[in-house]
Copies of this chain bind each other. A is one copy, B any other.
């Protein structure tokens, strides 16, 4: 057994987690410190690759790093009750549904406005009229809490 230890770049290639992120996960405690060669290179074995793929998959399902830490702990505890895992998953689902609903609301509003705008050479524009409408209640901003949202924004719309 004990396959040849892989360097971080190789581990990155095989798991789809970038070398940069592997280092970061280690620095922030999501991963235990990797074994080092004499010269300081990190080395990874099969078990590490497994963990990295787990992380990668969880990220793809939208879990935050904190959530993944919880999942990893449960994963390593072979006696865990599945109820705990299911609860985490359902919180995540609820979170996703909340975010979807928020975006859906925005999209629908914009679609209405866009449909009402003829989009030709003339300056009349219901979209701008809506944005500029002065009669909006200054609601206390529905608190953006709980919207991870991943990924840097596009450069410009």
Chain A residues with a Cβ under 8 A of chain B: 13-16, 18, 50, 53-54, 56-58, 60-64, 66-67, 70-71, 74-75, 78-83, 85-93, 95-97, 99-100, 103-104, 106-107, 109-111, 113-114, 117-125, 127-128, 130-134, 136, 138-141, 144-157
Contact = CB atoms under 8 A, between A and B. Distances in A.
A82 to B, nearest CB: 4
Contact of A114 (B80, B90, B153): B90
Contact of A81 (B60, B95, B122, B133): B122
A152 B82 CA distance: 29
Give the 6 A-B CB pairs with smallest separation, nearest first.
A149-B149, A67-B157, A144-B151, A86-B119, A16-B138, A66-B156
A114 B86 contact: yes
Given A62-B103, A80-B125, A148-B151, 20 more contacts: A53-B138, A57-B130, A57-B131, A61-B106, A64-B153, A64-B157, A67-B156, A78-B123, A81-B123, A85-B117, A86-B117, A89-B113, A90-B114, A93-B110, A100-B104, A100-B107, A103-B103, A147-B151, A148-B153, A149-B153
